[in-house]
Amino acid sequence: MKRRVKSFIIFSLMGFTINFIWIIGSGFYLNSFASSDETYPGLKIFSDVIDLIEKNYVDPVDSEALIQEAIQGMVHSLDPHSTYLPKDAFASLQDDTKGEFSGIGIVITMRKGTLTVVSPIEGTPAHKAGMKAGDIIFKVDGTPTKEMTIGEAVKKIKGRKGTPVVITVLRKGFSKPVDFEIIRNVIPIESVRHISLKPEYGYIRIYNFTEKTVHDLKAALEKLESSEKPLKGLIVDLRDNPGGLLPQATGVADLFLDEGIILSIKGRLEKHTNVYRAHENGGDRNYPIVVLINGGSASASEIVAGALQDHKRALILGTTSFGKGSVQTVRPLRDGSGLKFTIARYYTPSGRSIQATGIKPDVELKRRIMEEQEEGANDFKFLMKESDLKNHLEAEPSKKTEEKPKSDDVLKKDSELDNTEYGVLKRKQLLLDNQINHALELLISYDIFTKLQG
């Protein structure tokens, strides 16, 4: 019997980072594997193995868990971005793309082995309750966090709207732990923030690509463009942006382009091949743009950077991006779980694949914050790239290269490079960032040279 379900095209980064999600596609059919003469014998062997383990293994086993682990192992062998999503993970994936979730509204990271609040999101229950940046989360509902991963902590903190959660924190200046009883609420995921760095020069940071990104970016641009004097330059910050929805990526690029190809995707099947083109905007958005990228800029953010770079619409500044040039689809399975697997490679307007190579900046500049900090804290040369991942796809189907080994430095630095800039944008603080500062100098210089040339 054939069963019709929905399919989704997605972009994602890696299992240990944020995954963002899908566009609804055409329906497809799941056909019985038994119809394949080649597959059926293999499934019989698999069934025999499960049966033997279930009946003879030294300890009782959970057959369902064994099957899920087997599926996960099979899918992981394909490439780093293909994965089996159990029910909880699939449900969480759907929440992420909607641009909101139910929780208390804090950004957390693992700092020196402790679960630390980076920032309470303004206006959320955590912010109203008095939680502060730097608070160490000691317990969640009485359970110590010492052995928890970030993922486990997030799962425990999130919950249904209207339900309470007790967060116990250690805070500098307090002699004992402090309990915050907080009622969960719907937390909007702010995808876009903006600020004027100085009159006529704007700054926009895009944190991820959710369902609201294009809408929010339009609103930010309208505010920056509505001043008495027209914009002379714009900085678009895509650093540490792990990606997101494909239509939002092409939509963002389309806001700055009036014609030409934004992106092309090519898969083994014709239905997985497509070309996305820009449309006439009918506006006066012709000011110069500097786009900031780094090794944490991946997937959808690389699509935007690549399109604007190829069309010579923006100057790209920073360090080489992550290098994820593949497209995934997420398909729901009959038990509420999901399967995410790679269906295509994508190419920038000029036809280049950035898979495992990344977007090379026009101006290479490593990030430094101009204040005291740990040595190398903002040096992204240790950030893991697509080419470091086991079984990564090559840029073309026929090309194979020797896998690059992961260094101890990559593994050591990885957990320290979480995106921690969800706080309110502050002009003075932003200008301590040498990449933002240099981008602003370039825009001002461009305006000066344009005037000199008449």
The two beta strands, 201-206 and 192-198, are antiparallel
Mind telling me the catalytic residues? 299, 310, 324
In a shared domain, residues 251 and 169: no
In a shared domain, residues 150 and 282: no
pLDDT at position 454: 67
In a domain, 142, yes or no: yes
Please give the average per-residue pLDDT across 370-398, as a whole number. 60
pLDDT at position 194: 96
Q: What is the DSSP string of 409-423?
A: HHHHHHTT------S
In a domain, 92, yes or no: yes
In a shared domain, residues 224 and 301: yes
In a shared domain, residues 145 and 131: yes
In a shared domain, residues 402 and 281: yes
Overall number of domains in the chain: 3
Q: What is the DSSP string of 134-168?
A: T-EEEEETTEE-TT--HHHHHHHH---TT-EEEEE
The two beta strands, 143-144 and 136-140, are antiparallel
* Greater pLDDT, 392 or 330: 330
In a shared domain, residues 147 and 33: no
Instruction: With cut-offs at 50, 70 and 90, classify the pLDDT of residue 388.
Output: low
In a domain, 339, yes or no: no
Q: What are phi and psi of 211, to 5 degrees?
A: -60, -20
In a shared domain, residues 128 and 205: no
pLDDT for 383 beyond 80: no
In a shared domain, residues 241 and 316: yes
In a shared domain, residues 312 and 419: yes
Please say which residue of 58, 81, 97 terminates a domain: 97
In a shared domain, residues 237 and 380: yes
Q: Which residues contact 62 (CB under 8 A, 6 or more apart)?
A: none
C-alpha Rg value of the chain to the nearest Å: 24
In a shared domain, residues 137 and 172: yes
**Window from 200-214, 252-266, 310-324, 390-404 with minimum mean pLDDT:** 390-404
Please say which residue of 188, 204, 231 terminates a domain: 188
In a domain, 334, yes or no: no
Secondary structure letter of residue 237 according to DSSP: E
Residue 55 structural domain: 3-97
Q: What is the DSSP string of 34-80?
A: GG-TTHHHHHHHHHHHHHHHHHHSSS---HHHHHHHHHHHHHHTT-T
Selection from 99, 121, 103 nearest residue 160 by Cα:
103
In a domain, 264, yes or no: yes
Spatial distance between the Cα atoms of 130 and 135, rounded to a whole number of angstroms: 10
| Digit-coded pLDDT (tens) for 285-343 | 999 999 999 998 999 999 999 999 999 999 999 999 999 999 998 899 999 999 999 99
- What pTM does this model have? 0.77
In a domain, 45, yes or no: yes
